[in-house]
Amino acid sequence: MSDSMSGLMIVRDVMSKNIKTVKTDDTVLSAVQKMNKFGIGSVIVTASGRPVGIITETNILRRIVEPRMDAGTVWAKDIMTGPLITIEQNAALDEAAKIMADKKISRLPVVQGNKLVGLLSSTDIVKASPTQLAILEELLRVS
């Protein structure tokens, strides 16, 4: 529960719970098809059920499109960004915003122990807490 008296918001209160994943040995093409099917900008890459990386539109542009690689013959593990930076679901939202700004990332996978339970985006943070906008402005300028 978020503590509205102190204005403290918790990551799990605003994260999106519907996370799409691919395995390390899936093709980049299958990752792209999943992203297009669900209208999302990233998928989490898993190995043995544990989150190990992320593939974003930027990964695909830089590592597949520009060098003219065949997305059907490249593995997810070969273009993913890893190791994955994550945050615990019970962490404060402002802590998540600071991590995202410091690391210059716009998506932060949410875990409970080793289990992936959600994904927090800069958009989620701004929607939930417009006061976090100042922290994220720097992030959005950079990305």
Q: Note if the pTM is more than 0.85.
A: no
The number of helices, as runs of H, and strands, as runs of E, in the chain is: 7, 6
Q: How many domains, the chain?
A: 1
Residue 67 resides in a domain: yes
Structure confidence by residue, pLDDT tens digits, 103-131 = 999 999 999 988 999 999 988 988 887 76
CATH, residue 41: 3.10.580.10
| H helix runs in 15-81, sequence order | 28-38, 57-60, 76-79
- CA gap 79, 140 in Å, rounded: 23
Query: Under a CB-based contact definition with an 8 Å cutoff, are residues 120 and 15 in contact?
Result: yes
For residue 46, being part of any structural domain is answered with yes
- For residue 56, is it within any domain? yes
Per-residue pLDDT of 17-66, as tens digits, reads: 989 999 999 999 999 999 999 999 999 999 998 999 999 999 999 999 99
Segment 59-100, tens digit of pLDDT: 999 999 999 999 999 999 999 999 999 999 999 998 999 999
Q: What domain range is 107 assigned to?
A: 11-142
Q: Is residue 5 in some structural domain?
A: no
